[in-house]
A and B are shown apart, each in its own frame.
Chain A
Amino acid sequence: MRVLNVLWYTIFSMNVFADNGYIEPVTDQIAKEECNACHFAFPAMMLPQASWKKILENLENHFGEDASLDSQTRQTIGEYLLSRSGDAGSTPSKFILGLDNGNPPIRITETEYWIKKHLHISEEKLQSRLAGLKANCAVCHLRAVNGIYRYE
C-alpha cells in the first residue's frame, strides 16, 4: 500500500511539476538586490519585453512609489530583464500567450496565464495579508525563490 502511495505521489507531483514548470528566478545580482529591496524579485520570463520597458521607463511612479534608480543601474537591470523576458527566447513563455503587445500589462497578475493558474484560489484569499496582496509569490509558493512554483 505504501509503495502504491509513493508511486501515486510521484506521478502526481511529476504532473504538477510538468504543468508548472521551472521558472528561472532573477539571477543577476544587481537586479536581484534592487528589485528584492521592496518586493519579491519577479522572474523576467513572467513578462514580455514591452512590459519590462514600460515598467523601467516609469520607475518614478512604480506601483504608487518612487523606485527611481541611477541611469547606470537602471540600464544594467534593463539589459538583464530584456534578455530573459518571456518573449526573448525562441519559445515564448506561457505568461506571454494572449498578451497585447500594443498595451502590455505591467502587472504579472493581469496576464491570462497567471489568472488561469489562480482561478481556484478565492479573491478574498488572494487579497489577504497572507498572500501579500498578490505581490509576494513566495508566501504561497514556498520555493519560488528557487524557481519552483508548486502550490505548497
Chain B
Amino acid sequence: MKPIIILTPLIAFSLVGSLHARGLNELINHYATLAKTQDALFDGFDAGRGKSLYMTKFLDGKKDTPSCTTCHTNDPTQAGETRAGKTIEPMAASTSPERYQSLKKTEKWFRRNCKSVLGRECTVTEKGDFLTYMKNS
C-alpha cells in the first residue's frame, strides 16, 4: 500500500511536469515549422540569440520599455514587476513550468511586448530563439 501512496503523487507530478515541458516544446516546434516554410535554410533556434534579444536595449520601441529586462529583470529565473507595480512570475521554464501552455496567449504577449520594446512585431526566428532561451533558463 505504501509504495502506491508514495508513487502516485510522484507519477502524477512527473506527468504534470512533462505536460508543461510539452507545452513549450510544442510552441517551439510550431515556430520551427513556420520558420522552415519562410526560409528553406532555417538552421534551428538559438538560445544565445534569444538571450541577446532579451538583454538588448532597443531604441525604436516605446520609451518606457527599452528592453525585456525593464519589467522582467536581467535574470529570467527571477520574478519581475510591471510598471504599474504588479509582480510578474519568472519567464524561465525552470521556475515557471506552468507558463507556455497556449499559443494564443503566447502570440498575444509577443505582439504586445515586441511592439512595446522593439517598436515592431517579432519575427518567427526571434520568437523561437526567445522561447528556446526560456526553455534553457
Per-residue CB contact flags for chain B residues 71-97 toward chain A (1 = under 8 Å, else 0) read 000000000001111100000000000
Task: Give the size of the chain B interface in residues (CB under 8 angstroms).
Answer: 15
Which A residues between 30 and 68 are near B, CB-CB below 8 angstroms?
Answer: 36, 38-40, 60-61, 63-68
Tally A-B pairs: CB < 8 A: 53
Assess whether B30 is interfacial by the CB under 8 Å rule: no
Q: Is A126 an interface residue (CB 8 A)?
A: no
**Contact (Cβ within 8 A) A133 B83:** yes
Known pairs A38-B84, A39-B82, A40-B84; A67 contacts B112 (CB<8 A): yes
Chain B 108-124 interface mask (CB, 8 Å, partner A; 1/0): 10011101100000000
Q: Does B36 sit within 8 A of A, measured CB to CB?
A: no
Instruction: State how many angstroms separate the Cβ of A146 from the closest Cβ of chain B.
Output: 18
Which of chain A's residues have a CB closer than 8 A to the CB of B82?
A: 38-39
Instruction: List A contacts of B22 (CB < 8 A).
Output: none
Residue among A40, A63, A66 making CB contact with B113, cutoff 8 Å: A66
Q: Which residues of B contact A (CB under 8 A)?
A: 62-65, 82-86, 108, 111-113, 115-116
Residues of A within 8 A of B (CB): 36, 38-40, 60-61, 63-70, 129, 132-133, 135-136, 139
